[in-house]
């Protein structure tokens, strides 16, 4: 069913194979998904790579975790439509609107997380920061990008507002493209890490105002980076490049 993976962009390649089998109908909604051990053996990769790839597909809604087992998502049709129309949505000039929406949503999720985050949630945020720090400066930005995305998603979860958390999950794929675009800038990973560190510190200190301000500054900096990149290249060129690079659509 699965093919051994080449040693380049391993997480992206594993995610792509999993995603393709779901979207082309080989694996059907509700089917029991292979275990991490089974996938690692078939794909000839580590269980850590499999785990990160499955986490990505779960965030997209393609997989569902029930207890200790993972199943193919029950609403694959709508999820597939979302993925296939993703590039089209952004080509209609919504990048700036997306960044604006992020500031409205994520500034408040950061503030709420500062009020409500448990020690466990703060520990998760710090674990993503640790992974980000370990890969700063590497040419391959995929690991940093994955942990960047998980960090933002965890803050939404830590807000303990299910509606806001669902809103962040809804735009998760678009956030992935923005992160990928931002990481093309030299030293942007180091700058993102420092910004994430400030937000996390504010959440750990349970200081809502400080968390909100730190997140707002972070997202404002991202907007500046994206605006500058769009001035250098056409928006369509950037989107096609990053959609392909991070396998956010299936052709």
Distance CA 210, CA 52 (A): 31
Nearest Cα residue to 108 out of 167, 170, 179, 156? 156
Print burial letters for 97-107: b (CB count within 10 Å at least 16), e (below 16).
ebbeebbebbb
Q: Quick one: fold of 10-81? A: Arc Repressor Mutant, subunit A (1.10.10)
- Name the CATH superfamily housing domain 85-245: GntR ligand-binding domain-like (1.20.120.530)
- Domains 10-81 and 85-245 alike in fold: no
Q: How confident is the model at residue 24, as a pLDDT?
A: 62
Q: Indicate the domain borders of the chain.
A: 10-81, 85-245
pLDDT of residue 91 exceeding 60, the answer is: no
Query: Sign of dihedral through CA atoms 110, 112, 118, 121?
Result: negative
Model confidence pLDDT, tens digit, residues 49-87: 899 889 888 877 788 889 889 998 876 555 554 554 444
- With vertex at residue 210, the alpha carbon angle to CA 111 and CA 168, rounded to the nearest 5 degrees, is 30
Model confidence pLDDT, tens digit, residues 129-181: 999 999 999 988 888 988 999 999 999 999 999 999 888 887 777 787 788 77
Distance CA 185, CA 168 (A): 24
Model confidence pLDDT, tens digit, residues 172-229: 777 877 887 788 888 999 999 999 999 999 999 999 999 999 999 999 998 888 777 6
- Mean pLDDT of the 2-15 span: 66
Query: Sign of dihedral through CA atoms 111, 116, 191, 100?
Result: negative
């Amino acid at each position: 069913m699965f093919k051994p993976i080449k040693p380049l962009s391993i997480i992206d390649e594993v995610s792509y194979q999993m995603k393709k089998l779901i979207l082309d109908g080989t694996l059907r909604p509700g089917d029991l998904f292979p275990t991490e051990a089974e996938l690692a053996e078939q794909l000839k990769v580590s269980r850590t790579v499999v785990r990160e790839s499955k986490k990505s597909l779960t965030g997209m809604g393609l997989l569902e975790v029930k207890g200790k087992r993972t199943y193919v998502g029950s609403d694959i049709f709508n999820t597939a439509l979302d993925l296939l129309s993703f590039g089209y949505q952004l080509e209609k000039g919504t990048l700036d609107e997306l960044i604006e929406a992020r500031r409205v949503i994520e500034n408040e999720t950061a503030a709420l997380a500062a009020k409500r985050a448990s020690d466990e949630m703060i520990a998760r945020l710090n674990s993503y920061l640790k992974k980000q720090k370990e890969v700063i400066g590497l040419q391959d930005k995929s690991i940093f990008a994955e942990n960047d995305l998980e960090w933002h998603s965890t803050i939404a979860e830590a807000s303990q507002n299910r509606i806001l958390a669902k809103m962040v999950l809804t735009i998760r794929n678009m956030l992935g493209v923005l992160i990928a675009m931002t990481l093309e800038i030299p030293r942007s990973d180091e700058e993102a890490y420092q910004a994430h560190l400030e937000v996390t510190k504010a959440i750990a200190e349970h200081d809502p105002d400080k968390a909100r301000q730190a997140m707002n500054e972070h997202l404002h900096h991202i907007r500046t980076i994206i605006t500058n990149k769009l001035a250098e290249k056409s928006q369509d060129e950037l989107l096609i490049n990053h959609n392909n690079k991070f396998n956010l659509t299936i052709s």
